[in-house]
Amino acid sequence: MGKKEQADHKDNTKVEAVLGLIRKQTPLTVKQEKFCNYACVERFLKAKGDNVKKAAKQLRTCLSWRESIGTEHLIADEFSAELSDGLAYVAGHDDESRPVMIFRMKQDYQKLHSQKMFTRLLVFTLEVAISTMPKNVQQFVMLFDASFYRSASAFMNLVVPALKIVGEYYPGRLYKAFVIDPPSLFAYLWKGVRAFVELSTVTTIVSSLDFEESLDFHDMAAYPRACSSLRFDPSTIKSTDKIGSCSSSRFSFTVSHHFDSLKPWYLSLTDTPASKVGPTNMGPALISPLNARSLSFASPVARAPRGDISGRLATRKSLFPSTPLPQRVTPREMATPKRTPLPSFLQSPAVFFRKEGHVSRADRCRESFMPFLKFYRRPYDEMIYRSKMRPPLGGLISIVSPHIRRRHVSVSQRF
């Protein structure tokens, strides 16, 4: 018998020992027997360090908790409002076929609903994710979107109970958890709490602002937008532009309709008093941007009298010099060049101890979240999410199969 076969035989013995301890207390129902399969008991053993008694105790507690929650009776009809708003749903599966769940709760949800209601919604979402897993996959990913929260303590009361439920009653199931855009004080509260949270090692805090440059995804085109855009669309406004003459209080501007013309526009003055601009009997050839535009925006040359341009330019040169001349450099300064200061040890001591392939913690968090960024930005579609629910989780719609449904027949047609 090889080493692998010996290890498998040892694991099978421990699994049978755990099930034997549970059956001694109370017999298991058919659904409990289905839940306590080999993979489930193995996860509880691994979470308790292969301790048979501790694993049996935790598994027994889990069965009692599931019975009190009523996991076998959870259906989508109970959470119709939450499903329509997209507060908790399965967004899809990653490259390793792990389901990715998104919890986009609002801050007033805990004020309007009890903690038990949130627990039932959490368990329902977890059961939907587990039901969509392939046979060779046992873990899932959780994304907590905190963009709707302004209170760090309120969001902490949401994340910590969720992680504790997953750690106690779904051991070995969580692959990674990401807290996205939490309030500013959440990081400080998390440092004090993470020591008491079992799944804190796989929980990461990230910011969506670090991924603004990666907004282009090829798989986003296949999903319709769930909400209308608030950006201004100029195509929705009828254009009021007119090709032709345009006039103001000072001058008029006329566009020529002949495209082969050498002068595609024609400018003429509209105000008659001679005290404003000058003589108004000028022809089109004498009109230029200097004498046609307003004096408040004209250059000093245009505002000056026609006979005093040279004098005004002379005074302008004296008041406003052109490009400044370079400063004189003495021969002594040329002989002694400036020395580059030597690097000080007190400035950056980490430079001497940094490895070549060193990656910071922020970069590691960023790289770990990159595969799940597309799920976070993908718009929510209730129909796609409901299609992933298997009976009886999907409610009455999923229980009644389409080929079993009969057409509605009136009473007069039946008899």
Q: 190-203, pLDDT tens digit by residue?
A: 999 999 999 999 99
Confidence of residue 224 (pLDDT cuts 50, 70, 90): very low
Question: b/e string for 107-128 if b means 16 or more Cβ within 10 A?
Answer: eebbeeeeeeebebbbbbbbbb
What global pTM score does this model have?
Answer: 0.63
The count of structural domains within the chain is 3
Confidence of residue 240 (pLDDT cuts 50, 70, 90): low
pLDDT at 227: 42
Residue owning tokens 């360090």: 49
Q: What CATH number does residue 153 fall under?
A: 3.40.525.10
Looking at the structure, do residues 62 and 9 belong to the same domain, yes or no? yes
pLDDT at 161: 94
Residue 354, in any domain of the structure: no
Q: 75-110, pLDDT tens digit by residue?
A: 999 999 999 999 999 999 999 999 999 999 988 898
Q: Which domain holds residue 278?
A: 251-293
Higher-scoring residue by pLDDT: 61, 12: 61
Taking a C-beta distance cutoff of 8 angstroms, is the pair 262, 285 a contact? Answer: no
How far apart (Å, rounded) are the C-alpha atoms in residues 372 and 142?
Answer: 10
406 exposure class (CB count in 10 Å sphere: 0-12, 13-18, 19+)? exposed
340 has a pLDDT exceeding 90: no
Looking at the structure, do residues 18 and 110 belong to the same domain, yes or no? no
Q: Which amino acid, one-letter code, is at 223?
A: Y
Looking at the structure, do residues 98 and 176 belong to the same domain, yes or no? yes
How far apart (Å, rounded) are the C-alpha atoms in residues 406 and 283?
Answer: 88
Higher-scoring residue by pLDDT: 73, 297: 73
Looking at the structure, do residues 98 and 211 belong to the same domain, yes or no? yes
Higher-scoring residue by pLDDT: 365, 55: 55
51 has a pLDDT exceeding 80: yes
55 has a pLDDT exceeding 70: yes
Looking at the structure, do residues 171 and 279 belong to the same domain, yes or no? no
133 has a pLDDT exceeding 90: yes
